[in-house]
């Protein structure tokens, strides 16, 4: 039975509604890890390091899709809750068209600044060459990369989360099959891995474009629109936290790479790359739930249904407690097996990665609440508070921790800095939730 945004949500219905998007993001993260697996095991440690070295810059460009997807989804959901379906469809079309044009602009800028940024971050020799090879191929698909992330969010708003999952599976299978073919069979090395990822991003971005351009039974469809600068500003403001969070995370990842080069060398970046791959999968559960539930929150806020808003918030906190415990336990149980998948060919690198896991794992106990808190305020169309949580979490707390902790605990300080930053960010999130409860009536 189809679940509607206007429904009453108990635990079962809440999980049924958000599960497709959670699985979508988990699957997206898993197939994003495939490049790392094939490059590390079939091409070598230096190319693997290069992928992890340049990836934060590429993700920083692609994260515009999350800004339009989450910010636009929140505004569209609230508009639907107000009963203005025609306006919601017009907003949807405007958002997709503008983000597509922006993707082309960002791809061009990426080509211009890729090498200067790689050099600035400390890449030279083979590391620089490999970073440029991988990055230039991925940049060709940046417009589709942006659309892919955007549509993942908007499929939920259109009440078609399951279809979004199927598209992601198609893109993921494309990446996995082509990685195996290009890297393991044809031995095309790093260019083959990059080409596989680029083609999969084209699949993930173009299929939804075709679906929404044709008549369909979802709440949304691409069609005629008019330029609405005020709405675009609202979308960007709403989604600024997700944009800021992704940009900040990319910048912080670059800072981590610099610190690891300083304290350990290239092995440190390789170990951190493994942590980021696994973290992408685990954090996808938190992000998937938070973004998946956002249209429900936005709809009932627009409909002024405070009772349902309260229920969704309380149930979400309970579910996040379960997810957090599960992620923490899984990270300990799977630390060595997952590390071995990527670094089993190097005993020293394997030991370093397993040690990093033992300290990094504590971050999963707190990060889910912070991610949800930021997304919750985005859904309420309060981009300022949402952005403040994201900014403090990454640019302030994580930056300070990764700079200060190594001075005291050396390499262990780098690995534990993420958990410390999440604890501080959780405190800020609790303060904001308490301060805004009367304004929105969710408590």
CA dist., res. 402 & res. 418, Å (int): 8
Q: Flag whether 108 is in a domain.
A: yes
By residue range, what is the domain housing residue 342?
11-440
* Positions of the chain with pLDDT lower than 50, given as ranges: none
Report phi then psi at 87, rounded to 5.
Answer: -65, -40
Question: How far is CA 79 from each of CA 156, 298, 301, rounded to the nearest angstrom?
Answer: 15, 9, 10
User: What's this model's pTM, rounded to 2 decimal places?
Assistant: 0.74
Q: Flag whether 229 is in a domain.
A: yes
Number of neighbouring beta carbons within 10 Å of residue 11: 12
pLDDT given for residue 83 in this prediction:
87
CA dist., res. 412 & res. 131, Å (int): 27
Q: Flag whether 299 is in a domain.
A: yes
Q: Number of folded domains in the chain?
A: 1
pLDDT given for residue 241 in this prediction:
66
Question: How far is CA 219 from each of CA 88, 155, 215, 379, rounded to the nearest angstrom?
Answer: 9, 9, 11, 18
Q: Flag whether 5 is in a domain.
A: no
Residue 376 in contact with residue 313, Cβ under 8 Å? yes
Q: Flag whether 3 is in a domain.
A: no
Q: Flag whether 121 is in a domain.
A: yes
Q: Flag whether 6 is in a domain.
A: no
Residue with tokens 């078609």: 160
The model's pLDDT over 59-102, given as tens digits with 9 standing for 90+, comes to 888 888 878 888 888 889 889 888 889 999 999 999 999 999 99
Residue 390 in contact with residue 247, Cβ under 8 Å? no
CB-count exposure of residue 166 (10 Å: 0-12, 13-18, 19+)? middle
Q: Flag whether 311 is in a domain.
A: yes
* Enclosing H/E stretch for 263: helix 240-263
């Amino acid at each position: 039975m189809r679940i509607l945004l206007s429904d009453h949500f108990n635990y079962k219905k809440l999980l049924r509604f958000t599960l497709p998007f959670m699985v979508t993001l988990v699957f997206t993260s898993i197939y994003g890890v495939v490049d790392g697996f094939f490059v590390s095991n079939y091409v070598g440690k230096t190319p693997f390091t290069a992928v992890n070295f340049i990836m934060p810059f590429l993700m920083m460009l692609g994260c515009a899709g999350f800004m339009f997807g989450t910010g636009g989804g929140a505004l569209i959901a609230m508009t639907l809750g107000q009963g203005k379906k025609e306006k919601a469809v017009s907003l949807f079309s405007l958002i997709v068209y503008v983000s597509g044009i922006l993707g082309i602009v960002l791809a061009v800028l990426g080509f211009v600044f890729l090498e200067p940024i790689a050099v600035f971050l400390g890449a030279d020799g083979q590391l620089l060459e490999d970073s440029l090879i991988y990055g230039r191929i991925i940049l060709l698909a940046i417009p589709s990369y942006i659309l892919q992330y955007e549509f993942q969010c908007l499929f939920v708003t259109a009440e078609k989360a399951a279809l979004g999952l199927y598209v992601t599976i198609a893109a993921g299978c494309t990446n996995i099959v082509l990685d195996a073919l290009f890297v393991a069979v044809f031995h095309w090395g790093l260019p083959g891995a990059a080409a596989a990822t680029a083609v999969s991003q084209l699949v993930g971005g173009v299929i939804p474009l075709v679906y929404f351009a044709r008549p369909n039974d979802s709440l949304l469809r691409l069609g005629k629109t008019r330029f609405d600068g005020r709405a675009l500003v609202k979308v960007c403001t709403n989604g600024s936290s997700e944009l800021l969070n992704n940009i900040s995370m990319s910048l912080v990842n670059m800072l981590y790479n610099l610190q690891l080069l300083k304290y350990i060398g290239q092995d440190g970046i390789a170990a951190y790359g493994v942590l980021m791959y696994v973290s992408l999968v685990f954090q996808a559960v938190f992000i998937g739930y938070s973004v998946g539930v956002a249209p429900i929150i936005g709809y009932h806020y627009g409909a002024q249904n405070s009772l349902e808003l309260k229920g969704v918030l309380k149930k979400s906190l309970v579910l996040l407690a379960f997810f957090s415990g599960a992620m923490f336990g899984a990270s300990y149980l799977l630390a060595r097996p997952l590390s071995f998948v990527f670094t089993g060919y190097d005993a020293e690198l394997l030991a370093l990665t397993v040690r990093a896991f033992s300290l990094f794992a504590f971050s999963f106990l707190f990060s889910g609440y912070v991610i949800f808190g930021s997304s919750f305020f985005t859904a309420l169309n309060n981009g300022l508070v949402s952005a403040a949580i994201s900014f403090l979490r990454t640019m302030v707390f994580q930056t300070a921790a990764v700079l200060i902790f190594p001075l005291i605990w050396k390499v262990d300080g780098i690995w534990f800095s993420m958990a410390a930053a999440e604890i501080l960010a959780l405190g800020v999130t609790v303060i904001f939730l308490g301060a805004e409860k009367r304004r929105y009536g969710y408590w």
